[in-house]
Amino acid sequence: MDIKIKSPAFVPGGKIPGKYTCDGMDISPPLIWTSGPEGTKTFALICDDPDAPMGTWVHWILFNLSADIIELRENVPPERELERGAKQGMNDFRKIGYGGPCPPGGIHRYYFKLYALDTEINLEAGTTKSELLKAMEDHILAEGQLMGRYERG
């Protein structure tokens, strides 16, 4: 089963508005998704850029979002723990929470990947993408992704 994820801020494959990048306010965009399948306990979100010169660059890690949450408003605060037990990981800017697109050159793609999980992830806030992916193994019920693009002007 696939989860449909979208943003009122940009169309799939479209340009991410500057407000959500290092050239603007550098706040997270709003996201909305469909419910997970039966058995979903939590959601996890990973945003990364596979076009970064040094390899895939992680922009955001969010996990243990309650299964009844189907949207994030823009500007999720950069706090280790959010309401209702959600936690944020360490991005490749070495910060907790969202770090917006800031490509050194050219057009880059940014994937917001959402995972429906059959468990709560037993990791501390500040975890890395690789640690989260390992903890999610064999627990993914469904997933979806939204891709946006950005090029610095």
Average pLDDT, the chain: 97
For the chain, what is the domain count?
A: 1
> In the chain, what percentage of residues exceed pLDDT 90?
98
* Cα separation, 151 vs 153, whole angstroms: 6
CATH of the domain at 91: 3.90.280.10
Neighbours of 114 (CB within 10 A): 24
At 40, list the tokens: 């979903």
The type of residue at 82 is L
Closest CA to 77 of 96, 55, 50: 96
Q: What is the pLDDT of residues 123-143, one digit of tens each?
A: 999 999 999 999 999 999 999
* Cα separation, 107 vs 76, whole angstroms: 25
DSSP reduced 3-state for 10: strand
- Report the pLDDT value the prediction gives residue 124, as an integer from 0 to 100: 97
At 126, list the tokens: 């500040």
- Residue 90 near residue 126, CB atoms below 8 Å: yes
Query: The whole model's pTM is what?
Result: 0.97
Q: Which domain holds residue 104?
A: 5-150
- Report the pLDDT value the prediction gives residue 153, as an integer from 0 to 100: 81
Q: What is the pLDDT of residues 81-130, one digit of tens each?
A: 998 999 999 999 999 999 999 999 999 999 999 999 999 999 999 999 99
